[in-house]
Amino acid sequence: MPYVRCNGPPAPRPWLTPMNLRPSSLLAGLLCLLTAPLALRAANPIITDVFTADPAALVHNGVAYIYTGHDEAVVGQNAYKMKDWLCFSSTDMVNWKAHPSPLKLTDFAWANSDAWAGHVVERNGKFWWYVPMYHRSIPGFSIGVAVSDSPTGPFKDARGSALITNNMTTDVSIFWDDIDPAVFIDDDGQAYLFWGNTKCRYIKLKENMIETEGAITTLNTLPMYTEAPWVHKRNGLYYLTYATEWPERLGYATGPSINGPWTYRGVFKGYARNCGTNHHAIIEFKGRDYLVYHNGGLPTGGDYRRSVCVDYLNYNPDGTIQVVTESTTSVDAVPLVHNTGPGRLTNISVRSFAGTAEQNLIAGFIIAGAGRKEVLMRGVGPTLAGFGVRGELADPSLRVVTPDAKLEYGNNDNWGGDAFLKASASSLRAFTLPDSSKDAALQLSLPTGPTTALISGAANGTGVALVECYDATPDNTATSLRNVSGRAYVGGGDEVLIAGFVISGNTPLRVLIRGTGPALAPLGVPGTLADPQIRLHNSDSVVIASNDNWGGTAELSAAFRSVEAFDLPADSSDAAMIATLQPGLYTVILSGVGESRGVALVEVYALP
């Protein structure tokens, strides 16, 4: 995300509070604000300290779990060496926690070798892991099932014997046709086990999940089927995705029921990087769809030393899957979106250049409602380097004050690994700060009304810093964040002004968004942006609304008055719009028409 540097002389400027405009000698100078939640992005592969392969994925109680095979072949060894399975979990799809191996080949007395691709599913409070292994006494691969009371295990053999054995599928001469199990539980509660190399097969599972029911069905109509089936359902349509051809790509078919008929739709992912196989999983997590897959992308990686990756999965309006291109940057962190209560703002953050005195980084926000609101405030500098931010502020100091700076609510310089702050940040899914870092943090109980957060550099330091404001009690809807605003110099190219916000709740929120430049000049702000334009992006980075010149409409004028925002001349080139938004992450980008430059203000208000 670009940051905005202050340009222009350090002459006195008025501080633009969310409610109105007031001069303040303490807040003199251009207030360089860039308001947006910091987009943390993982890198692909997502696990780099061990080789992981053949992912399955599960979402349970707001946590994403990825279950993988474990490639242990040494460099130059052209054969799979796999003796156990691994488990990783995340609450944001970026930070992955490794758990002790929950299942090993030796947990199955009947198995001989080859802990290959498995699948985990939850039913009736228990977790069932279906895994293929080479059988000790029946030649060929067989499929077993393990069970646990926890998604992270430990798991144990649920049967004491294989569920599917190679002598049940004699129409294929190879010994590895009974691999790659995938379980799907339909809306009526009926569970199905899909599996197979060369031919795709499925069979019903009984309620106990360790016995089959009825005959095996073989799907002979899937074009170019190789292996690795995965079944999911979306908007009433069934999807059967699978590895196709060799080297493998990912293709898919759709059908009106679990029994088809299946209509082939084509290939939606190409060849895996540095790897012939193409095993995958598909999950929906907190409003986004994800494709989990493997490739040979790590140094010394390859066919037998694979690594799990994650990318977004998108659909067209007709339900077809958009082509997925492997990325090296993976996905953004899932924002903190609570799905209970009315729609409301729950997180804002500002990132920009920060220094001392007139170069303080400043964020303004309003708390509305009855009573006080607990907020976690953080001023981050050194830790940004770990996310690829260059020129970070080495030692940020954080102050939280009233807009006139006459009252200080709290301050911090070096957070010191405080246990309470660490627990609070973890519960809010904020990224981790090292205990010994010189980042700043504090948690405060603030009254309703406008508040200002200032970041400065200790010892006259300068650099890029991030100020964050988290609603620490997001389920307390009696009080909430109502507004975020930022003012900065807008230049050409990437020097745009960005406001980001998170909407939580289970209902839409109506918001007023403004981008002002010309209207600031009568308020004493010099060098204003002559013609601002605003674009609203959703979490897919798709522009969903925009405005250039607000037009003086009666609806917008009424909205200004309802939140006590200062008026805009009806014929001004300022921008404004109203949007009704579902819970999620949004970004407003303010730029100058025709690469124009100047000081601008961006504001986002939750409308009553």
Strand-pair partners of 184: 192
CA 492 to chain centre: 29
What DSSP designation does 107 have? G
Contact call for residues 308 and 52 (beta carbons, < 8 A): yes
> What's the N-to-C CA distance of the chain in angstroms?
31
pLDDT band at 339 (very low <50, low <70, confident <90, very high): low
The per-residue pLDDT for range 500-512, each reduced to its tens digit, is 788 888 899 999 9
When pLDDT is averaged across residues 576-580 and rounded to a whole number, the result is 98
pLDDT band at 518 (very low <50, low <70, confident <90, very high): very high
Model pLDDT, residue 575? 97
Model pLDDT, residue 19? 27
Measured CA to CA, the distance from residue 270 to residue 519 in angstroms comes to 51
Residue type, 301: G
The per-residue pLDDT for range 254-263, each reduced to its tens digit, is 999 999 999 9
Q: What are phi and psi of 121, to 5 degrees?
A: -140, 150
- Name which residue leads in pLDDT, 250 or 334: 250
When pLDDT is averaged across residues 345-371 and rounded to a whole number, the result is 75
Q: What is the pTM of this model?
A: 0.60
Burial of 545 (0-12, 13-18, 19+ CB in 10 A): middle
Inform me whether the pLDDT recorded for 336 exceeds 90: no
What DSSP designation does 130 have? E
The per-residue pLDDT for range 428-480, each reduced to its tens digit, is 778 889 999 999 999 999 999 999 888 888 888 888 788 888 888 877 778 88
Contact call for residues 21 and 564 (beta carbons, < 8 A): no
Inform me whether the pLDDT recorded for 8 exceeds 60: no
Residue 168 tokens, joined = 């049940």
For tokens 């699978």, name the residue.
242
Contacts of 387 (CB under 8 A, 6+ apart): 38, 40, 41, 431
Measured CA to CA, the distance from residue 585 to residue 499 in angstroms comes to 11
**Segment of 24-33, 101-110, 456-465 carrying the highest mean pLDDT:** 101-110
